[in-house]
Structure 1
Amino acid sequence: MSAREALESLTKDQLIELVEAYSKNLIALDGTWFQSIEGELGMDAAMHHDVAAWSRFTASEARRLKRFLGLAERPGLDGLEAALAFKLNTLSSRAETKWEDGALVYRVVECRVQVARARKGMDFHPCKSVGIVEYGGFARAIDDRIRCECLSCFPEISDRTCSCAWRFFLVDSGPFATIES
Structure 2
Amino acid sequence: MTDDLSDLQVEVPKAPRRAFRQIDPGARALVVAVCVMLMLVAALLPWVEGASGWQILFGLAPKGTVIGLVPILFVVCSTLFGVLISGAALVTRLWALAFASAAGCGFSLIIALLAVWSQQSTSSHEPGPGPGIGIILALLTLIVLTFQWVKLTLFSAPPSASRLGRS
Q: Same fold (TM over 0.5)?
A: no
- Structure with higher Rg: it is 2
Structure-2-length-normalised TM-score: 0.29
| Greater per-residue strand proportion | 1
Structure-1-length-normalised TM-score: 0.28
| Greater per-residue helix proportion | 2
